[in-house]
Chain A
Amino acid sequence: MNRERLHAMVRKEFVQMFRDPATLRLVLLVPLMQMLIFGYAIRTDVRNLPTVAFDQSRTQESRELVQRLTATGNFVLRSHAESYEDAIHEVDAGRARAAFVIPESYARDLKRGRPAAVQVLVDASDPSSSASAIGAAQMVGQQLNVEIVQRRTGTDMASRLPVDVRVRPLYNPSLRSAVFVVPGIIGMILSNILILLTAMSLVRERETGTLEQLIVTPLARSEIMLGKIAPYVLVGYVQMTTVLIAGHLIFAVPMRGPLLALYAVTFLFITANLGMGLFISTLGRTQAAVTQSAIFILLPNVLLSGFMFPREAMPPLAQAMGALLPLTYYLQIVRGILLKGVGMAELWPQALALAFFAVAFFTFSTQRFHKTLE
């Protein structure tokens, strides 16, 4: 490796990057757009389900129940139905996603100490959005039970129950999905944009004919490869910082752990992805061919890394494939540092994996790249 040659190569790549407005736009605006789209659109915590009530009891007690259910924030009362069929019809037609059905005997049953059967019907065709509504409804039911029994027996019921399981959501107490999604976006954007940019950068030289002139010089392969990735390290940091700040301001994403450690580990992650991009660029001779190979990485990145779906729920094969992606490890790091406030003491295995990927991809792609036209 020669300093003067490497310097010339790095400098040229920087000048070219800053001279290309399309790339700069991509680099600066796409992260922000993706953050807004994902932050607002991916909501696994869908609240405010439009709800129809079929209250046959029409009593103080039944109104209180409806009031309690809507107070969870999961249901918004939209209309009252005159019959059970009416209520179901509202759900079928999509005007309501939940229905409360309160029997005529509700208040009477309560007073006489008989079990009062209340139905909460939830449209579960989208399971992720219905899960929290179902949970909330069950919770309201339980709380009411406890209170009523207490009132009747005059004792502190809770202290006498043998098992009292209370779920307390950690790190993200209000279960807002933006808080969870935005740190993931940092990883996904870094990964996908950087892989594409580096993959294109080398193959573009091949397509425009500048590579032939480049490889006839004494530049070493590693110098060419390092020059190709250098500007994108900066790009990666700019993108990460943009999403971090915007996520903090717009979605109140916390920054609980050591940011310095996050920035340091991000270097490994960026390098691993750039190495992967270089590797992809050695797989084809045209930008079209390389874009196609890139899809084979970008898609698993989104689906298998734990960005969208929890890895724990995946079949073993998908989990194993996810374990081959740098993004999988980086997501654990970035979420760990930002949301849980943990540091390198807990996250060093993931950092080690990233270091391994960075070295492996870079070495491997340098080996695959030849200074010939064959």
Chain B
Amino acid sequence: MTTPVVQVASLVKRFGDFAAVDDVSFDIERGEIFGILGPNGSGKTTTIRMLCGLMSPTSGTATVAGADIARDPDRVKSRIGYMSQSFGLYRDLTVDENLEFYAGVYELGARKTERIAWGKREMRLEEIGPRLAGVLSGGQRQRLALACAMMHAPEVVFLDEPTAGVDPAARRLFWTIIRERAADGVTMIVTTHYMDEAERFDRLVFLSRGRRMALGTPAEVKAQFGSHLSLEDIFVQLQEKES
């Protein structure tokens, strides 16, 4: 067994008295498509933000791509790609300008042209280069954001609800792209609150009110809670039990 590319041990994040992430642990292997599932407010975004070095944990430890998130957040940032839950690119810049900006920010130097071409090809953006990011459809926006997040060929990519509010065809295309990237060996960590997407993950963790309720492959989670139920049913039950 190789060392996991992400190791999370007893991670806690409190905002005042309120624990948004409460003692969560899991490991992620290289090249996995790993899901962080849970209803609204269950702590998915907070977990991801800590793993990306954007927030420091109240307690617990985690390493991402060999860097400690609390001690060395800058190293973490240079090794990962991150796509925030709300669209984080510049709506007043075109697709090409956004790509160029991130290529510059990631210091691609001579590889710049090649990486931008790669991004546009792989994320199916070739036709819309001169368009302003603000006028793109939901699916196009998310693909552009992924292209920017992966501009520097990171080994780990975090996607926070990339398929929220995107129509089914665009969602399917996005999942195709996620699988292609994982096939390249990139670890893809994806949050969602669409329970019907659960089957798409290699492994997943289910959070509710900041706590880990289940962890494993979809089949393992099913076996744990009764295989006659769908994952969706299991999650709804877990959630109801919690409240």
Nearest-neighbour CB distance to chain B for A203, whole angstroms, equals 15
Select one of B55, B56, B104 contacting A11, CB under 8 A. B104
Provide the residues of chain A in CB contact with B86, threshold 8 Å. Answer: 209, 212
User: Does B11 have its Cβ within 8 Å of any Cβ on chain A?
Assistant: no
Nearest-neighbour CB distance to chain B for A349, whole angstroms, equals 41
Among A14-22, A64-72, A108-116, A333-341, the stretch in contact with B: A14-22
A-B contact pairs, 25 of them (CB 8 A): A4-B104, A4-B109, A11-B101, A12-B93, A15-B93, A209-B86, A209-B88, A212-B84, A213-B88, A213-B148, A214-B88, A215-B54, A216-B54, A216-B84, A217-B102, A217-B106, A218-B74, A218-B78, A218-B105, A218-B106, A218-B107, A371-B54, A371-B73, A371-B74, A372-B55
| CB <8 Å contact, B93 and A16 | yes
Provide the residues of chain B in CB contact with A371, threshold 8 Å. Answer: 54, 73-74, 77
User: 1/0 per residue A349-374: CB within 8 Å of B?
Assistant: 00000000000000000000001111
| CB <8 Å contact, A213 and B55 | no
| CB <8 Å contact, A5 and B55 | no
Closest residue of chain B to A215 (Cβ to Cβ) is: B54
Closest residue of chain A to B107 (Cβ to Cβ) is: A4
User: Does B201 have its Cβ within 8 Å of any Cβ on chain A?
Assistant: no
Given contacts A212-B88, A213-B82, A372-B73, 12 further A-B contacts (CB under 8 A): A4-B109, A8-B102, A8-B104, A11-B101, A12-B101, A20-B92, A213-B88, A213-B145, A215-B54, A218-B74, A218-B77, A373-B55
Q: How far is the CA of A372 from the CA of B78 in the complex (A)?
A: 14
Interface positions of A from 179 to 226, Cβ below 8 Å from B: 208-210, 212-219
Provide the residues of chain A in CB contact with B175, threshold 8 Å. Answer: none
User: Does A7 have its Cβ within 8 Å of any Cβ on chain B?
Assistant: yes
User: Does A2 have its Cβ within 8 Å of any Cβ on chain B?
Assistant: yes
User: 1/0 per residue A12-43: CB within 8 Å of B?
Assistant: 10011001100000000000000000000000
| CB <8 Å contact, A219 and B105 | yes
Residues of B within 8 A of A (CB-CB), count? 34
Nearest-neighbour CB distance to chain B for A22, whole angstroms, equals 12
Closest residue of chain B to A224 (Cβ to Cβ) is: B105
Provide the residues of chain A in CB contact with B54, threshold 8 Å. Answer: 212, 215-216, 371-373
User: Does B52 have its Cβ within 8 Å of any Cβ on chain A?
Assistant: yes
Provide the residues of chain B in CB contact with A133, threshold 8 Å. Answer: none
Residues of A within 8 A of B (CB-CB), count? 27
| CB <8 Å contact, B107 and A12 | no
Q: How far is the CA of A208 from the CA of B92 in the complex (A)?
A: 12
User: Does A9 have its Cβ within 8 Å of any Cβ on chain B?
Assistant: yes
User: 1/0 per residue B81-110: CB within 8 Å of A?
Assistant: 011101111111100010011111111010
Q: How far is the CA of A11 from the CA of B98 in the complex (A)?
A: 11
| CB <8 Å contact, A12 and B84 | no
A-B complex: 6 closest residue pairs judged by Cβ atoms: A8-B104, A213-B88, A209-B86, A216-B82, A212-B84, A217-B105
Q: How far is the CA of A208 from the CA of B93 in the complex (A)?
A: 14
Interface positions of B from 100 to 153, Cβ below 8 Å from A: 100-107, 109, 145, 148
Q: How far is the CA of A12 from the CA of B91 in the complex (A)?
A: 12
Nearest-neighbour CB distance to chain B for A201, whole angstroms, equals 12
User: Does B49 have its Cβ within 8 Å of any Cβ on chain A?
Assistant: yes
Select one of B56, B80, B93 contacting A374, CB under 8 A. B56
Q: How far is the CA of A7 from the CA of B100 in the complex (A)?
A: 11
Provide the residues of chain A in CB contact with B103, threshold 8 Å. Answer: 8
Nearest-neighbour CB distance to chain A for B147, whole angstroms, equals 13
Q: How far is the CA of A239 from the CA of B14 in the complex (A)?
A: 48
| A217 touching B88 in the complex, CB below 8 Å, given contacts A4-B107, A15-B97 | no
Nearest-neighbour CB distance to chain B for A222, whole angstroms, equals 14
User: 1/0 per residue A97-117: CB within 8 Å of B?
Assistant: 000000000000000000000
User: Does B35 have its Cβ within 8 Å of any Cβ on chain A?
Assistant: no
Provide the residues of chain B in CB contact with A19, threshold 8 Å. Answer: 92-93
Closest residue of chain A to B80 (Cβ to Cβ) is: A216
Nearest-neighbour CB distance to chain A for B239, whole angstroms, equals 26
| A7 touching B87 in the complex, CB below 8 Å, given contacts A20-B92, A372-B54, A374-B56 | no
Residue of A20, A212, A213, A371 most packed against chain B (CB within 10 A):
A213
| CB <8 Å contact, A12 and B90 | yes
User: Does B31 have its Cβ within 8 Å of any Cβ on chain A?
Assistant: no
Provide the residues of chain B in CB contact with A209, threshold 8 Å. Answer: 84, 86-88
Provide the residues of chain B in CB contact with A20, threshold 8 Å. Answer: 92
User: Does B53 have its Cβ within 8 Å of any Cβ on chain A?
Assistant: yes
Select one of B49, B87, B89, B101 contacting A8, CB under 8 A. B101
| A5 touching B92 in the complex, CB below 8 Å, given contacts A209-B87, A216-B52, A374-B56 | no
Select one of A16, A214, A218, A374 contacting B55, CB under 8 A. A374
| CB <8 Å contact, B90 and A216 | no
Residue of B54, B56, B100 most packed against chain A (CB within 10 A):
B54
Nearest-neighbour CB distance to chain A for B165, whole angstroms, equals 14
